[in-house]
Amino acid sequence: MDTYDLITRNAEEVVTEEEVRELADDPDGKRVYVGYEPSGVLHLGHLLTANKLIDLQEAGMEVVVLLADVHAYLNDKGTFEEIRETAEQMKAQFIAYGLEEENTEFVYGSEFQLDEEYTLDLQELQVSTTLNRAQRAMAEIQGGETAKVSHVVYPLMQTLDIEYLDLDLAVGGLDQRKVHMLAREELPELGYDVRPALHTPIVADLTSGEGKMSSSEGVTISMEDSTEDLEEKVNSAFCPPTRDPEDDLENPVLELFEYHVFPRFDEIVVERPEQYGGDLTYEEYESLATDLESGELHPADAKGTLATYLDELIAPGRKKLREIRD
C-alpha cells in the first residue's frame, strides 16, 4: 500500500485530494491531530479515528491528541478537575489501544486556549462569523440539545486549534466536517494557512443499522465492556446477509470489520467445524463481505469472529482502565 492510500484508507472524505497527496509525498514529521472531549471511557467512535491516527503514524506523521478540557467544560461535562481526571484516563487508554507513546503528543486545550493571543483571535472570529454559520458548524455535534452561547463558541475554538497546534492535517468523524470547512473559510481571514482534513465514517447503530452508533443513545461497545458483554452486544447486532438497495440501512457488523478489524489485523480467520465447511481465512474486507452476501459465511459465524477480534483490540485498554480504577 502506498503512502497516500495508507493515509486515506477508510476515509469517507478527503479535503482536498491534492493537498493530502502533497502531504503524502513528504509525510515525515508532518503534524496531524484529532480533538477529543474528555467525557468518559473510550468507545468504538473514538477508536475509529484512533485507527486512522495509527495509520498516519505508520506513514511517518506526528500525532497530536487534543484533550479538549475547555471544550468539555463549555459542553457542561463537569468541573475542570473532573474533566482532567477523565482526560488522563483517556490518554492511558489510547496508548494501551496502540498509539505509539513516543510519537504521540497529548495536549490539554487549557494549555493554550486561555492565552491572550488565542483569546484575541477568538474575539475576532466572533466578530466576523455569523450566528447562523457557527450554529450550522456545531449542529451535528450538538445533536438535539437546546443551543447555548457556549455551543456557538465551540466550533470557533476548534477552528483556532488547527492553527495554534501548528498542524498540517486535521482528522475527525464526518460529523466534524462543517467545523473543518468553517476553519478553511475563516483561518485565511486571520492571516493563517488553510489545512487539509480527513473525515472518517460514522458507524450505524449496532442493533438497527440506522443512524449512527452512539454512547448516549442505543448500544455501543466500549473499553468498559467485559468479553461477555461484548459478545452479547455483537451477537444481537443487526446483520442481514444481503443489503436491500431500496432502504437506508447499513450492516454495522460489516462496518466494524471494515473500519476496526481489517485495519489492525493482517489476516482474519473464521473458525468453523469441518462439517460446516471448515475455517475461512480473509486477508481483505471485500472477500469477507462478498462471502456474507453470497451465503458462504453465515451471519452467526461473522458475529462470533467479530467479537473475538474486537475483544483482542480493546482488552489492553480494558486492563489499563481496571488498573487506574484500582
| 285 labelled ligand-binding | no
| 158 labelled ligand-binding | yes
- Under 8 Å between Cβ of 91 and 125: no
| 4 labelled ligand-binding | no
| 205 labelled ligand-binding | no
Is residue 142 over pLDDT 70?
no
Confidence category of residue 258, pLDDT binned at 50, 70, 90? very high
Nearest to residue 251, comparing CAs of 192, 189, 290, 209?
Answer: 209
Beta-strand pair 31-36/169-173: parallel
| 176 labelled ligand-binding | yes
Angle at 309 between CA 307 and CA 312, to 5 degrees: 105
pLDDT of residue 39: 81
**Residues 148-202: tens digit of each pLDDT:** 888 889 999 999 999 999 999 999 999 999 999 999 999 999 999 999 999 999 9
- Under 8 Å between Cβ of 282 and 268: yes
Cα separation, 141 vs 174, whole angstroms: 10
Is residue 76 over pLDDT 90?
no
Is residue 216 over pLDDT 60?
no
* Structural domains in the chain plus CATH codes: 3-200 (3.40.50.620), 227-325 (1.10.240.10)
pTM, entire model: 0.93
Angle at 202 between CA 225 and CA 40, to 5 degrees: 40
| Distances from the Cα of 222 to the Cα of 43, 120, 201, 227, angstroms | 4, 39, 18, 11
pLDDT of residue 194: 97
pLDDT of residue 138: 81
pLDDT of residue 75: 86
pLDDT of residue 147: 72
**Residues 53-63: tens digit of each pLDDT:** 999 999 999 99
Mean pLDDT of the chain: 93
| 113 labelled ligand-binding | no
